[in-house]
């Protein structure tokens, strides 16, 4: 039912333009109608409790229509997964139940821009004050995320913790005093703002908004968030690649050469379609294998996730280069090449380095 719902909305339920002002709201409304915001919410809270394979197939189907919406659901699902496993009490119950009904959209707010900080040492700080937690800093993410109802924020731990990394994760609701948003401009010619800065100025949150324990931020990210994020990114890219591939095939079927012959009569084009088909099927096969390995908690899961992400990115970029250089994209609702690049991180160079480290049994730094 989950994948069928996603496929139905991939065909006609999403807005026809991914980069128009109202399409994100319309697309999120489409997710709500099918309760897809409850994709990884436990059944006891009314969620779909999808396993890794269903999750990947659903994200791919949604991303076939709109990569941005697929990425929104990936970020939401990663945040919900952390809440599901590391939050307790009434707040956890309320958020999971609301998400299952499509009434709560959550996202990750861990990235920082131009601060020199990294995941292990964020520039954002937290401190304890009068039985509460105070957060100060600035986060950065893509535009649709700013419409979320809550955010999982990474910050330097408010209390000392074991180990060299002192990072904690916090649940911050949108209506928290001191929370504000500002559009971030850019130089490239993509319609609309490329990102949104979220500023936290003396944001005070209750103690039960701590995700896990003080100093567990990196551990939770590595064990819970990162694997699901990689799986989701690979699925988003596979969906985008499949949409580009179908657009290429459509143009090949209806197009003609300078002499008026069908493009399908050109052997070079037929071979290129065959090459792209084999590469795309290979990427989707690795994605499925990675999802099954993650579900079974196999040691090979992380390596397969990185391979799936790399392969999907290479296929998508290859199709985009041919499509953009030679043919007009006939499918509406696809992001521009520049915009899609926002969803192909981490880069292939980084992934190949990590894959090499894994094969050589070196630490994944």
Q: Which domains does the chain have, with CATH numbers?
A: 2-105 (1.10.540.10), 108-213 (2.40.110.10), 219-359 (1.20.140.10)
Question: What burial class does residue 264 get, using C-beta atoms within 10 Å of its C-beta: 0-12 exposed, 13-18 middle, 19+ buried?
Answer: middle
DSSP 3-state assignment of 330?
Answer: coil
Report d(CA 112, CA 154) in Å as an integer. Answer: 10
Mean pLDDT over 206-216 rounds to: 93
Res 284 pLDDT > 60: yes
Dump pLDDT digits (tens) for 142-170.
555 567 899 999 999 888 766 556 899 99
Handedness of CA 22, 170, 168, 38 (dihedral sign): negative
Range scoring the smallest mean pLDDT among 4-8, 36-40, 55-59, 74-78: 4-8
For residue 121, give both structure tokens: 């040492």
pLDDT bin (cut points 50, 70, 90) of residue 125 is very high
pLDDT bin (cut points 50, 70, 90) of residue 108 is very high
CA 329, distance to chain mean position in Å, is: 24
Q: What is the pLDDT of residue 170?
A: 96
Dump pLDDT digits (tens) for 308-319.
888 888 888 887
Q: What is the pLDDT of residue 186?
A: 55
Mean pLDDT over 48-59 rounds to: 92
CA dihedral 344→199→22→4, nearest 10 degrees, is 50
Res 181 pLDDT > 50: yes
Mean pLDDT over 179-199 rounds to: 67
pLDDT bin (cut points 50, 70, 90) of residue 193 is very low
Report d(CA 170, CA 205) in Å as an integer. Answer: 9
For residue 193, give both structure tokens: 């703002």
Q: Where are the alpha helices (DSSP H) in the chain?
A: 2-8, 23-33, 52-65, 67-86, 90-100, 217-220, 226-254, 267-295, 301-326, 337-340, 348-359
pLDDT bin (cut points 50, 70, 90) of residue 53 is very high
Q: Which residues are CB-neighbours of 291 under 8 A, at least 6 positions away?
A: 51, 52, 53, 55, 56, 231
Other CB atoms within a 10 A radius of the CB of residue 348 amount to 16
Mean pLDDT over 261-282 rounds to: 84
Question: What burial class does residue 114 get, using C-beta atoms within 10 Å of its C-beta: 0-12 exposed, 13-18 middle, 19+ buried?
Answer: exposed
For tokens 């990947």, name the residue. 56
pLDDT bin (cut points 50, 70, 90) of residue 324 is very low
Q: Are strands 150-156 and 167-173 parallel, antiparallel or unpaired?
A: antiparallel
């Amino acid at each position: 039912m989950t994948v069928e719902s996603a496929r139905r909305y991939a065909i006609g339920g999403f807005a026809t333009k991914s980069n128009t002002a109202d399409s994100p709201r319309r697309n999120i409304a489409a997710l709500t109608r099918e309760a897809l915001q409850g994709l990884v919410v436990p059944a006891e809270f009314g969620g779909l409790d999808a396993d890794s394979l269903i999750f990947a197939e659903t994200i791919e189907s949604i991303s076939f229509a709109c990569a941005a919406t697929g990425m929104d659901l990936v970020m939401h699902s990663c945040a919900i997964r952390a809440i599901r496993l590391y939050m307790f009490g009434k707040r956890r119950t309320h958020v999971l139940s609301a998400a299952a009904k499509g009434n709560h959209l959550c996202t990750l707010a861990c990235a920082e821009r131009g601060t020199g900080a990294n995941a292990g040492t964020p520039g954002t700080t937290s401190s304890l004050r009068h039985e509460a937690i105070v957060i100060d800093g600035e986060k950065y993410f893509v535009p649709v995320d700013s419409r979320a109802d809550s955010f999982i924020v990474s910050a330097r731990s408010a209390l000392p913790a074991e180990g060299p990394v002192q990072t904690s994760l916090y649940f911050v609701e949108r209506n928290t005093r001191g929370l504000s948003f500002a559009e971030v401009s850019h130089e490239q010619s993509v319609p609309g703002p490329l990102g949104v800065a979220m500023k936290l100025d003396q944001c005070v949150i209750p103690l039960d908004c701590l995700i896990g324990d003080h100093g567990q931020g990196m551990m939770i990210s590595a064990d819970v968030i990162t694997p699901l994020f990689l799986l989701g990114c690979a699925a988003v890219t596979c969906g985008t690649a499949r949409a580009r591939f179908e657009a290429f095939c459509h143009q090949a079927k209806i197009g003609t050469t300078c002499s008026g012959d069908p493009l399908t009569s050109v052997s070079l084009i037929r071979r290129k379609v065959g090459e792209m088909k084999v590469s795309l099927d290979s990427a989707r096969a690795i994605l499925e294998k990675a999802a099954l390995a993650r579900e079974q908690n196999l040691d090979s899961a992380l390596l397969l996730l990185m391979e799936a992400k790399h392969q999907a990115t290479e296929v998508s970029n290859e199709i985009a280069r041919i499509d953009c250089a030679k043919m007009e994209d006939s499918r509406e609702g696809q992001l521009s090449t520049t915009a899609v690049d926002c969803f192909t991180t981490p880069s292939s160079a980084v992934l190949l380095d990590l894959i090499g480290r894994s094969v050589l049994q070196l630490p994944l730094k």
